[in-house]
Amino acid sequence: MSTNSLICLRLKECNTIKAVYCHFDGYIKHGVSEMLYKHYNNYSKIYELLEHGSISSLQIDIHPNKNKEHNINNYQDNVTVFFDDDMHYIFNAYTELQDMAKKMFIKYVYIYENDQWYVFNDIFNSIELEKLSSYFEIERGV
């Protein structure tokens, strides 16, 4: 069973939101959120991630060893597995993002803007953002 999510970036040049679908491990604890928070924490790295399109499994790296096979059926350890579709979505407002998440039955939506990660706590009922850092500060006792 999979926990789907959307990974989003507020584009600096046009103020729109670019998003890609992520199939596995979308939940907040020890899933996509932790990977984003710890390993995808600057604009250029996130932009590069989203350029590849839909994600099967988000991992630490996005660049596989070119001398080894890397695909959805035979993947390298710690390397993100992308679907071969280059698909992404562009939204002008949170409400558009919310509508798409509802249609796709996606519970977790992560967005990077203003140099930090946020998560929509309850995308089905609200477009209220929470800082993703608050989840990890609680774990560390901050």
Which tens digit of pLDDT belongs to each residue from 111-135? 999 999 999 877 777 778 899 998 8
3-state secondary structure of 94: helix
Across residues 71-94, what is the average pLDDT?
89
pLDDT above 50: residue 50: yes
pLDDT above 50: residue 142: no
3-state secondary structure of 101: helix
Neighbours of 88 (CB within 10 A): 17
